[in-house]
Structure 1
Amino acid sequence: MRPVLAVLLAAVCFGTTGSARALADVEAGALSVGAARILIGGGLLALVAWLLSRRRSAEPAAAPRGGARRGMPTPLVIALGAAGVVAYQPLFFLGTETNGVAIGTIVALGSAPVLTGVADWALSRRFPGWIWVVATAVATIGVVLLSGITAGSTGSVSGIGLLASLGAGASYAAYTLAGKALLDRGWSSTSTMGVLFGWAAAASLPLLLLSGPSWLVTPEGALLALWLGIVTTTVAYVLFGWGLARLSPATVSTLTLAEPLTATLLGLLVLGETLDATATAGLVVLALGILVLAIPRRRSVSATA
């Protein structure tokens, strides 16, 4: 269960983003906040990876894992993964701003596990398994119910917004699969996350400067940036990478649907939000989908103990 719990804890860290922004009450655009988050968190991940690599420099390099496919050059894998990290947040926010938070979130979060699982299946010939299919379907239904979207309530939907949300899901799949590819080539989880997010941090600096960083000099803005950078990025992706090294990309992507579950619970407990009956049902269904995926993993581990 430890890899499963690591990914779930990472998702809990991700899920604090919205509540942190609401409590900070900082006047900053989503692009600026996202760029600051990656700049701080990615820089710290790169620093952690560098420090650990110095400690391990005298050790022999790990051999590539069995079944690893080396078709794509490593620099290209890193470039694609870092591009996915940088692209995810602006595409996600463009989708939510164009079609609303509900639809944008559904399309982005709902498509990410599916795109990750299908791409991993195509690239590695590893079928994620029927348990993953069922768990992903159930969890996605829970996300839809949680959003409050009902038939006839969506109004007009922008094609550009949908493409942006799908792009966010594809970006998530890109950096997850790139990370797994590096892990399969013998990289450590910290080195993998460090190099992907380190390059993403470098690319985020001009985005932050262009989008207006003045909010960072306020006490609230500085605290928000540190929380998002340290907790929701550095700590979260150390856990995410450790779990990814031991689980399939498809499984990891579905487990991270605990992010909207966490965000909703924090909204209820911290921000005083309320849920109607449909959203409450969605909360239960989403939790059930995650449990469907997590419980068999626990049984398989205990069976081999």
Structure 2
Amino acid sequence: MSKSLPYIFVLIAAVLWGTVGTTQTYLSDGIQPITIAMMRSLIGGGVLLIIAIVMKSISFKNWSWKQTFFAALAMALFQPLFFMSVNLTGVAVGTVVTIGSSPIFAGIIEWMYLKRQPGRTWAIATVLSIVGCIMLFMSSGETVIVPAGIACALLAGIAFATYTHVSKFLLEKEAALPAVAMTFTICGLILLPISLFLGVSWITMPANWLPLLVMGVFGTSIAYLLFLTGLKKIASSAAVTLSLGEPLTAALLGVLLIGEHLSVVAWCGVALLLGGILVVTFKRNKQINMIS
């Protein structure tokens, strides 16, 4: 059971990410997504940074600044690029291309830089999950192909895959908790100038505090702490494939809490997504047990 825990941690992280979209619906209307990302990052990173300082588990003098900066930059690029893709080409296409391309780019980066070719299990799980993701989002009929939007979505996929790989190297030198704390605090600071330009007066409204706190603590602090804890023990490509649990969770929450309707095709997509996640989790765990 212990050998499957890293996969479970990453999957739980994806589930927590999937709650962010639903939580955002409780914020005031007209808020720029980038400013939400900034607040989510600062709250999530700041809470863990305080904990790390109190626990004396962080040393600023000997910290791995290079890896942390690149991880923070990748995450800061991922969020605006994803939001731009959604604005340009719609939620369905933007989400499918971004989330669906991330595992592919993760496998390519792992192959190029670590000289480790992803195996058949990863390929099967990734194909199942991407097809499921396409069926889940495309069944709504909202299909708008805008080249600039597709480009932004692909760049967002590269950014998330890059964040995962850089974080893998960061974890070789630093513990997961301070790594998440530093990465997201810096990410929030990178997004802060843009957010101030767009306006942040909505932050003073008490009705927005609880959703922001939930997104910051659960959708960022706890989620990415679990993600990096699991990432330390498994391949980056497998972790990114498991992150496809995010759209699966978002879709199910939309049905259960917001009253959205899924077609038969969409439910088939849900089944394929779940199948891909189960393959990468239990098949890889079985392989580890056979080796050991």
Identity of aligned residues (%): 34
Alignment match, 2:169 = 181
- Mapped to 2, the partners of 1:219 and 1:244 lie a distance apart of 36
**143, 159, 166: which one pairs with 1:154?**
143
Contact 2:72 2:163 in 1 (8 A): yes
Please state whether the residue corresponding to 1:16 is helix, strand or coil: helix
2:7 alignment partner in structure 1: 4
1:110 aligns with 2:97: no
In the alignment, what sits opposite 2:185?
198
Determine the structure 2 residue equivalent to 1:68.
none
Cα 1:163–1:279 shift into 2, 3 Å: same
Is there any run of 5+ residues in structure 1 with no aligned partner, and where? 62-73
State TM-score, norm by structure 2: 0.91
Q: Does the aligned pair in 1 maintain the 2:101–2:154 contact within 8 Å?
A: yes
Deviates more, 1:27-36 or 1:39-48: 39-48
Give me the whole-angstrom Cα distance separating, in 1, the residues matched to 2:80 and 2:177: 25
**Whole-Å separation in 1 of the counterparts to 2:24 and 2:169:** 33
User: 2 CA distance for matches of 1:50 and 1:130?
Assistant: 43
- 2:277 aligned partner, one-letter code: I
Cα offset, 1:211, TM superposition: 1.9
Identify which of 150, 169, 172 aligns with 2:160.
Answer: 172
Q: Name the counterpart of 1:283.
A: 270
SS at match of 2:262: coil
Contact 1:92–1:108 (Cα < 8 Å) also in 2: yes
Query: Do structure 1's residue 131 and structure 2's residue 121 form an aligned pair?
Result: yes
1:132-151: CA deviation from partner (whole Å, max 9, x where unpaired): 0110011000000000259x
**Aligned-partner Cα distance in 2 for 1:261–1:41:** 23
Paired residue for 2:53?
A: 50
**What displacement does 1:302 show?**
5.1
Cα deviation, residue 55, structure 1: 4.8
Match of 1:292 among 273, 279, 286: 279
**Is the counterpart of residue 29 in structure 1 residue 27 in structure 2?**
no
Aligned residue number for residue 234 of structure 1:
221
Unaligned stretches of 5+ residues in structure 2: none
Opposite residue 143 of structure 2, the aligned amino acid is: T
Q: Is the 8 A contact 2:19 2:219 kept in 1?
A: yes
Q: Secondary structure at the match of 1:270?
A: helix
Amino acid at match of 1:154: T
Matched, 1:219 2:206: yes
Does residue 17 of structure 1 match 2:17? no
251-260 or 188-197, larger mean C-alpha shift: 188-197
Q: CA deviation at 1:24?
A: 3.8
Quick one: distance in 2 between partners of 1:282 and 1:30? 27
SS at match of 1:23: coil
- The 3-state SS of whatever aligns with 2:51 is helix
Residues 246 and 147 of structure 1: CA distance in aligned 2, closer, same or farther (over 3 Å):
same
